[in-house]
Amino acid sequence: MERMTTADAAKELNINIVGLQVLMQQGKLPIGYALKKPGSTRYSYIIYKELVDGYKERVEKGILC
């Protein structure tokens, strides 16, 4: 699967980067993973283009699950 940056994903989904990061941390944006190493305060984001494209299609069709 092809990966993409948070900036590119946010642009594709027409939301800001911080919003994308918060939604991923909460598990509410199924486009990849927000990972935090034990003892760290920072997250790493793994975002897959195929999941972003699929999510965009579901939103356009009104299916928000």
- Cα–Cα nearest to 55, from 26, 19, 22, 28: 28
Confirm if 9 and 46 have CB atoms less than 8 A apart: no
Q: What pLDDT score does 49 carry?
A: 98
Q: Name the pairing type of β-strands 32-36 and 3-4.
A: unpaired
Q: What pLDDT score does 65 carry?
A: 61
- Cα–Cα nearest to 28, from 39, 40, 41, 13: 13
pTM, whole model, 2 decimals?
0.89
Task: Please list the pLDDT of the chain residue by residue as tens digits (65 residues).
Answer: 899 999 999 999 999 999 999 999 999 999 999 999 999 999 999 999 999 999 999 999 998 76
Q: What pLDDT score does 36 carry?
A: 95
Q: Which helix (H) or strand (E) covers residue 52, if one does? A: helix 49-61
**Residue 57, helix vs strand vs coil:** helix
